[in-house]
Amino acid sequence: MYAIIETGGKQYRVQEGDVIRVEKLEIADGEAVKFDKVLLVADEGKLNVGKPYVDGAVVEGLVEKQGKAKKIIIFKYKAKKDYRKKQGHRQPFTQIKIEKIVG
């Protein structure tokens, strides 16, 4: 059984027991989270596709940790013009373990 959920403007294919990293959610570590924007639920070859969301379908998970991803470097320059600009960015994320798919 798997489901496709939408959160943070992105879509994720999840199964029970999966660990996913989503855009940062304001939820403390160890708390439960429910995703009600379920686009599709597949169970033993049976597909339930929503229009746009599946009615009554919920994916439940547990927040494992909040963190920041590995730093990426943004370096811009223009040749022969003495222009250099260096920036770094660490994207915040929430790591979630999928507990149950209802739907």
Q: pLDDT tens for residues 69-91?
A: 999 999 999 999 999 999 999 99
Amino acid at 21: R
Residue 51 domain-assigned? Answer: yes
What is the spatial distance between Cα 58 and Cα 60, in angstroms, rounded to a whole number? Answer: 6
On the question of a cis peptide bond just before residue 52, with omega within 30 degrees of 0, the verdict is yes
Number of domains comprising the chain? 1
What is the spatial distance between Cα 97 and Cα 100, in angstroms, rounded to a whole number? Answer: 9
Structural domain range at position 36: 2-67+93-102
Residue 20 domain-assigned? Answer: yes
Looking up tokens 């909040």 gives: 66
Residue 97 domain-assigned? Answer: yes
* Digit-coded pLDDT (tens) for 28-77: 999 999 999 999 999 998 999 999 999 999 999 999 999 999 999 999 99
Residue 26 domain-assigned? Answer: yes
